[in-house]
Amino acid sequence: MTAFMNMTKTNKGDKIMKRFNLKYNVGKVKYLVSFHDGEKKHKDGSDFFDIACFKNKIKLNAFTNDLLQQGYIKPNS
């Protein structure tokens, strides 16, 4: 289990943190943001990540700043 996985585990009622990841040049998508709100789950119990795709950096930065204001964290930073 990685250090990041250990950070996301919960203890009796603690909420899982909101987090997001950036990926570049995935297929035809220039910028890809995957984000987890701390609540959505797949049927098997694993975290469900929503995605957002962007063609330019201005919209990407606006979206990531909005996520940061909503309390999301970027685990690599």
Residue ranges covered by each domain of the chain = 17-69
- Give this prediction's pTM: 0.72
Q: How far apart are CA 40 and CA 73, in angstroms?
A: 16
pLDDT digits (tens, 9 = 90+) for 1-37: 333 443 444 444 555 589 999 999 999 999 999 998 8
Segment among 26-30, 36-40, 61-65 with least mean pLDDT: 36-40
pLDDT value at residue 16:
59
The region, left, alpha or beta by phi > 0 then psi within -120 to 50, assigned to residue 11 is beta
* 17: DSSP letter: P
Helix (H) or strand (E) holding 25: strand 19-26
Residue 47, pLDDT > 80, answer yes
Measured in whole angstroms, the distance separating CA 22 from the mean position of its chain's CA atoms is: 8
